[in-house]
Amino acid sequence: MKLLYEGKAKKLFAGPDTGTVIQYFKDDATAFNAQKKDTLIGKGILNNYISSCIFEALNQTDIPHHFIRQLSDREQLVKEVQIIPIEVIVRKVAAGSICKRLGLKEGEPLANTLIEFCLKDDSLGDPIISREHIEVMQLADEFEMDAMTSMAYRVTDFLTGLFSMMQIQLIDFKIEFGRLNSVGGFHEVILADEISPDNCRLWDMKTNEKLDKDRFRRDLGGLIESYTDIANRMSLKLPELKAEL
């Protein structure tokens, strides 16, 4: 397979048909802009199963996305898009960087769902940017920004409901969007990347136990057990968690 791109947690390979890409989930875990790194056996498999299930469930909505189907334990077939270099972060409860930045207390519900934009650039540490920065840097146009913002709210409602059925509270998450190649100059903006406990904060509703990548970021241990717990609550039939070949 032809490697197109290697990220921190995934590799992208050319897909079988034009306009398709194979997304391969690695076991690598990074945090704090890759200053902290490890390999957690089976994480890629768990994220592939969890993200595939979430994107399949998104078919119940009219939110357009890149997911076509899961191909194997670590691979999924997706539509080829040009990723818009903006990380869209949605927060419902204060946690993580917003607590450090603004002095909010972790676990405090926010008055409204908050959307933040970060520049997707590891060398700059993914800095937070405003709509005005996005306009000046021409990262996305006004229509794309409106589309991403309204989709982010719809994804939030959808994920909140999905996780609450599993007794999980959605605290915050990060999503990315891509431009679908099309003829005639018009590009549809669709949800891309992954939705997994690597890029969502998910707390058990009763105990507030962290079930997401904060287990790695904060050295809490038990990341694989927590991701497996999420997969089990989603009733996913998991394979044996083996190391990558």
**Does residue 200 bind ligand TMP (CB under 6 A)?**
yes
**CA–CA gap between residue 202 and residue 221 (Å, rounded):** 15
Shortest distance in whole angstroms from residue 145 CB to ligand TMP: 19
Q: Which is nearer to ligand TMP, 12 or 89 (CB)?
A: 89
Exposed e or buried b per residue across 38-74, where buried means at least 16 C-beta atoms within 10 angstroms of its C-beta? eebebbbbbbbbbbbbbbeebeeeebebbbbebbebb
Shortest distance in whole angstroms from residue 48 CB to ligand TMP: 16
Shortest distance in whole angstroms from residue 193 CB to ligand TMP: 9
Q: Which is nearer to ligand TMP, 64 or 96 (CB)?
A: 96
Q: Which is nearer to ligand TMP, 15 or 54 (CB)?
A: 54
Q: Which is nearer to ligand TMP, 20 or 97 (CB)?
A: 97
Q: Total binding residues for ligand TMP by CB under 6 A? A: 11
Shortest distance in whole angstroms from residue 120 CB to ligand TMP: 8
φ/ψ (deg, to 5) at 48 = -65, -45
Q: Per CB under 6 A, which of residues 144..183 are in contact with ligand TMP?
A: 172-174
Q: Which is nearer to ligand TMP, 15 or 44 (CB)?
A: 44
Q: Which is nearer to ligand TMP, 49 or 216 (CB)?
A: 216
Shortest distance in whole angstroms from residue 99 CB to ligand TMP: 8
**For the window 2-41, what string marks contact with ligand TMP as x by the rule CB under 6 A?**
----------------------------------------
Q: Per CB under 6 A, which of residues 57..116 are in contact with ligand TMP?
A: 89, 96-98
Shortest distance in whole angstroms from residue 169 CB to ligand TMP: 12
Residues within the interface to ligand TMP (CB under 6 A): 89, 96-98, 126, 172-174, 199-201
